[in-house]
Amino acid sequence: MAIRLNHTIVAARDRDASALFLTEILGLPPPGVLGPFAVVHVGDTSLDFMQVEEGREIATQHYAFLVSEAEFDEIFGRIRERGLRYWADPYHRVPDEINVWDDGRGVYFDDPSGHNLEILTRPYGSAGTSAAAPHPLVMQRLERTPDGGHTTESREHGVRRYVGDGDGRDG
């Protein structure tokens, strides 16, 4: 059997509001409730929203959803209809714009608990460096070295960079 992600728990200030927000924005069926979780099914995976104790800090996470061009139009329309803030980048430095990385489209927006959500029409790096608007990141492979350190190697350029020798000291 191939390994697949089955579910992940998403901390929320208001479990139900966060789960409903996601299903409404993405156009998914309403969430189900299973014990302490509001469960949102996205493909074979579920995001299980769980209420955090009042006053407890939530570490914000990033959740990216690969969508078709038509779904992007529908979802982005709902984002704009609700007057939600959105950005072209994950750092929220380019407001009120979408990106066109990898010759697709992408946009970032926040859920009610502050999680950084993203919809994109092309996976990161899928168009390589030949795209009209290549993704600013080039995928690299991270490998463990025999001495316990690790190296990165660019798939595009074959460049290796030594990062450490496993004893806590660089190079």
Domain range spanning residue 5?
1-51
**Amino acid of residue 13:** R
- Residues 45 and 67 both lie in one domain: no
- Residue 112 counted as domain residue: yes
Report d(CA 37, CA 50) in Å as an integer.
5
Residue 97 has pLDDT above 60, yes or no: yes
Cβ-contact 12, 18 below 8 angstroms: yes
Q: What is the CATH number of the domain that holds 103?
A: 3.10.180.10
Residue 171 has pLDDT above 60, yes or no: no
- Residues 70 and 112 both lie in one domain: yes
Number of H helices, E strands in the chain: 2, 11
What is the number of other CB atoms lying within 10 angstroms of the CB of residue 145?
A: 13
Residue 162 pLDDT: 38
- Residues 45 and 1 both lie in one domain: yes
Consecutive H or E run containing 31: none
**Those residues with Cβ within 8 angstroms of residue 80's Cβ, 6 or more apart along the chain or in another chain:** 86
Read off the DSSP letter of residue 159.
Answer: -
Can you give the length of the chain in residues? 171
Residue 126 pLDDT: 83
What's the total number of domains in the chain?
3
4-44 tens-digit pLDDT: 999 999 999 999 999 999 999 999 999 999 999 999 999 99
- Residues 113 and 159 both lie in one domain: no
71-96 tens-digit pLDDT: 999 999 999 999 999 999 999 999 99
Residues 120-140 have a mean pLDDT of 78
pLDDT band, very low/low/confident/very high, at 163 (cuts 50, 70, 90): very low
